[in-house]
Structure 1
Amino acid sequence: MDQLRRSLLEAPIIEKGEYQYFVHPISDGVPTLKPGLLREIVIKICRKVELEDVDKIVTPAAMGIHISTALSLMTDVPIVVIRKREYGLDGEVSLSQQTGYSESEMYINDVQPGDSVLVIDDVLSTGGTLSAICEALDGIGADVTDVVAVIKKAGENELDGRIDYKTLINVRVEDGEVVIVDENGDG
């Protein structure tokens, strides 16, 4: 059994109101993120996407940073982190991020028209964050080559039917346990 699958099946479940939430090293930073799991995830991403012409890896802060850093180290493709802080740099683009539980402004720097970008995130749930990022990148004139989320929570999201995306594994939480819906991911 691969490490990603095992780590999800062993993930602790906590209750947030009526919502059952799994706690996972990729999406939460706890329990401990082991190098082997991160390496496995990056290898799976490399096998799913075409990296040859990618100029930049784009990821939202914070939980996409470790995945993107490891991917950058393996591929020599630089990273752009979309931050929740405005810096006021030339060319900075703001976007409104809306998830299932929060709304905030995010800011993209250092993506230029014509840049070929790979978008990486840890979890795809409602699709609000990735949808807003893709719209902002399109507005900049960047070419989004692929959108990848490591873990997809089962159910419809804002990307479905609008933006092509890839995932590594799809899950749902049922009766206090993580259930693997699709071990190979994708929509």
Structure 2
Amino acid sequence: MDQLKQSLLEAPIIEKNGYHYFVHPISDGVPKLDPTLLREIVIRIIRKAQLDDVDRIVTPAAMGIHISTAVSLMTDIPLTVIRKRQYGLDDEVEISQKTGYSENEMYINDVREGERVLVLDDVLSTGGTLAAVLAALDEIGAEVIDTVAVIKKVGGENKVDDAGYDVKTLINVDVVDGEVVIVDEEGDR
């Protein structure tokens, strides 16, 4: 059994405001992130993502950073992190991010019109973060070549699908009776 699947099946579940949330090294940094798990994920992303002609990887802070950094190191594609901190730079674009359990402002810097980007994230759950990021990149005029989320939590609202964006995933899961259930071991597309 691959490490991603095994690690998800062993993930503890917590409840936050009625939202059943799995605690996983990729999405939370705990329990410890084993390098072999990260390596497996990076290899799977590189195999699944459309990387031709990508100028830059773009990822939302914080939990997309470790995945995107590893992909950047393996592909030599530069990385830009969308931050929750405002810097006030000339090209800064503010976006509102709403997930199943939080609401924040995020800020995109140093992504230009016409730039071809790969968007990477850890988890696609409600789609609030990715939908906001993809809409902001459209507004900037960047060309999103591909979007990949490592884990998709199915069974609820998905703002990314509702907005017409296409996101590839590595594995799709649900939380049923306090346990992670694997819905699709291959993810989407």
Show the 5 A alignment for 1:20-39.
Answer: 20-39=20-39
**Partner Cα distance (1:50, 1:102) in 2:** 31
> Under a length normalisation based on structure 2, what TM-score does the superposition of the two structures give?
0.96
Percent same amino acid among aligned pairs?
A: 74
Number of aligned residues: 187
Q: TM-score, normalised by structure 1?
A: 0.97
Assess, with a 3 A threshold, how the Cα gap between structure 1 residues 17 and 112 changes in structure 2: closer, same or farther. Answer: closer
Q: Write the distance in 1 (CA, Å) between the matches of 2:108 and 2:19.
A: 31
User: Distance between the aligned counterparts of 2:114 and 2:167, measured in 1?
Assistant: 20
State the 1:114 CA deviation: 0.6
1:63 Cα offset (Å): 0.2
The within-5 A match list for 1:1-187 is 1-155=1-155, 156-161=157-162, 162-186=164-188
Indicate the SS of the match to 1:26: helix
Secondary structure, counterpart of 2:15 in structure 1? strand
- Provide structure 1 residue ranges, at least 5 long, that are not aligned to the other structure: none
Q: CA RMSD in A?
A: 1.1
Distance 1:84 1:18 in 2: 25
What is the one-letter code of the residue matched to 2:177?
D
Q: Relative to structure 2, which stretch is displaced further, 150-159 or 76-85?
A: 150-159
Cα distance per residue 1:75-132 (max 9 Å; x no partner)? 0001100001110112111111111111111100110011000001100011011001
| Secondary structure in 2 matching 1:5 | helix
Deviations 1:6-50 (A, max 9, x none): 000011122334332211000000000010000100110111112
AA aligned to 1:148 is V
Q: Tell me the secondary structure at the aligned position of residue 159 of structure 1.
A: helix
Task: Give the whole-Å Cα distance in 1 for the aligned partners of 2:15 and 2:128.
Answer: 22
Residue identity opposite 1:171 in structure 2 = V
Please give the alpha-carbon distance, in whole angstroms, between the structure 2 residues aligned to 1:20 and 1:106.
Answer: 24
Instruction: Give ranges in structure 2 of 5+ residues lacking alignment.
Output: none
